[in-house]
């Protein structure tokens, strides 16, 4: 089943979003402004879009695998979560970036990606003294290879 997402663009200088069937279910987002950053700077990079996500879904926004290599920036909150209530006419999406080196990000550069996920179901927790499964060996126990 295909979901439809209503989208508002804040500029015509970025390529429109597209879903590429069979390649990845992550969709690239682009910088909607020319951004200069010095090492140590923080900026909210505008992504030029606002969206109305389907009810019961949220968007997960993360850097592309090449973002740090190409631009020397990291996302300050590691992963952004945008829920379906952030859908007003002025609710533009942003990428919170911290620069580890001087950099320039140009309009239309692909800097992050998103996918939508269904909300987590309601959960309850049941306390127990024993889980009854084999231990894996502790944190970081799967080795270096």
Catalytic residue positions? 83
Please answer whether residues 47 and 32 qualify as being in contact, where contact means their C-beta atoms are separated by less than 8 angstroms: yes
* CA 138, 140, 143, 145 torsion-angle sign: positive
Question: How many Cα atoms occupy the beta-carbon half-sphere of 30 within 13 Å?
Answer: 17
Q: Which of 64, 50, 65 is nearest to 111 (CA)?
A: 64
């Amino acid at each position: 089943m295909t979901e439809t997402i209503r989208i508002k663009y804040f500029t015509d200088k970025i390529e429109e979003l597209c879903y590429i069937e069979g390649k990845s279910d992550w969709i690239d987002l682009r910088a909607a402004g020319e951004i200069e950053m010095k090492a140590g700077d923080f900026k909210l990079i505008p992504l030029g879009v606002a969206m109305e996500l389907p009810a019961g879904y949220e968007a997960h926004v993360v850097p592309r695998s090449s973002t740090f290599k190409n631009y020397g920036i990291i996302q300050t909150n590691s992963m952004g979560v945008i829920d379906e209530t952030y859908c007003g006419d002025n609710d533009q999406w942003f990428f919170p970036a911290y620069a580890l080196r001087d950099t320039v990000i140009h309009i239309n550069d692909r800097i992050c990606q998103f996918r939508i996920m269904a909300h987590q179901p309601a959960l309850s927790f049941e306390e127990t003294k024993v889980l009854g499964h084999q231990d894996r060996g502790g944190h970081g126990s799967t080795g270096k290879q």
